[in-house]
Amino acid sequence: MSAPAAHTLHRGLGPWASASIVVGTIIGTGVFLKTAVMAQLGGSPMWVLAAWGVAGVLSFAGAMTYSELGGMFPASGGEYIYLRHGYGPFMGYLYAWNRFWIATPGSIAAYGVGSATFLSTAVPIERLGGVKVVAIALVLLFTAVNCLNVRAGGRLQTALTVMKVVMILGLAAGALLAPRGSWGNFASSSGGVFPGFGAFGAMVLAALWAYDGWNNLPMAAGEIRDPQRNLPRATIYGALAVLGMYALVNLGYFHALPFTEVVTSSSNQFPDAPAVAAKAATQFLGGTAQAVLAIAMTISALSAMNGSMLTGARVPYAVARDNLAPKQLATLSERARIPAVAVVVQGVLSI
């Protein structure tokens, strides 16, 4: 017999919310920043684009694998479930321990601080207590929203992701159509010489960081409507959409800016320089570029934070459901049927 509805998660995530989780958790801040580091290593726009492409193909392969696994195991928990079935409860538990105590809270905290930091460049938040106070407030606010019901978290994710996608496509279009841009910027002083396997590997790793997040949706598989259909489609189409957007944005960077401007953008070598995205946006937005980009990066980080928060809390729920963690973490709220205790504990750990 199936479990009573009151004791099971509510399948309140439709295809759009599911796709928004995929896109929203993949796109964080890497696409705005990493191209400069990759250009320093690669010495040529073409090798930078090649590295983005290789990383995209690798990430898409992973997304396809997880779409299959998600269809096979349409229950919340994601990688915990896959490891438990493949290698036994102990390996699944080790993964879940790291995910719950370190990985997810660390990601949420980083996104919260990042959001507040980006916001501070466009809005005077000092009167609100500064970056730390605003970051904590954002984590608490998003935790509260995700305690309402899964639809509320999904709707917030959809709204933030749509805004993020519109801004990224706007950045790409503006950079590609910038009147002072030139396709001649794709020529470089290195003549396109291969930078070496070590440098190219480092470039791919930098791009892979910007693609991270394609594995998050299966963690919430137990709350997706018709998961055998919607989870694979959302994962595959979402990953493809990100791959396309990253390609357009990077083409825009190199069209709008000379290669030397990309190389000298914000990075460890040039910590005080504007981000490559800000430089490109200046070509068509002028003096408002920094403020607009700050808002875009804030929304991008918030979208990634909410997606991580929504999916991450389902891992301890799944472990507790299997009697490998305190049973309170598997407790579902009466009306919303969400793991509210796990969501709250995750928020506290993030702070």
Determine phi and psi for 13, rounding to 5 degrees.
-100, 115
Looking at residue 193, its pLDDT comes to 85
pLDDT value of position 190: 60
The stretches in the chain having pLDDT less than 50 are 1-4
- DSSP letter string, 259-311: HHHHHTSSSSSSTTSPPHHHHHHHHHHGGGHHHHHHHHHHHHHHHHHHHHHHH
Confidence at residue 6, expressed as pLDDT on a 0 to 100 scale: 54
7, part of any domain: no
Whether residue 83 lies inside any domain: the answer is: yes
**5 belongs to a structural domain:** no
Tokens standing for residue 23: 């896109």
pLDDT for the residue 194: 87
Per-residue pLDDT of 266-325, as tens digits, reads 888 898 899 999 999 999 999 899 899 999 999 999 999 999 999 999 999 999 999 999
N residues, the chain: 351
Evaluate whether residue 123 is within a structural domain: yes
DSSP characters over 183-244: GGGG--TTTT----HHHHHHHHHHHHHHHTTTTSGGGGGGGBSSHHHHHHHHHHHHHHHHHH
Q: What is the pLDDT of residue 309?
A: 96
What local confidence, expressed as pLDDT, does residue 312 receive? 95
CATH number at residue 132: 1.20.1740.10
CA angle 7, 12, 16 (to 5 degrees): 155
Domain-located, residue 1: no
Q: What is the pLDDT of residue 1?
A: 41
Torsion sign over Cα 59, 64, 68, 73: positive
Whose tokens are 């796109």? That residue is 27
Q: Give the list of residues 6+ apart from residue 182 with CB closer than 8 angstroms, or none.
A: 255
How many domains does the structure of the chain reveal?
A: 1
Nearest Cα neighbor of 247 from 207, 275, 212, 279 is 207
Would 6 be classed as within a structural domain?
no
Q: Is residue 4 part of a domain?
A: no
SS3 content of the chain, % helix, strand, coil (to 5): 75, 0, 25
Domain hosting 79: range is 12-350
Tell me if 323 is assigned to some domain.
yes
pTM: 0.92
pLDDT digits (tens, 9 = 90+) for 157-181: 999 999 999 999 999 999 999 998 8
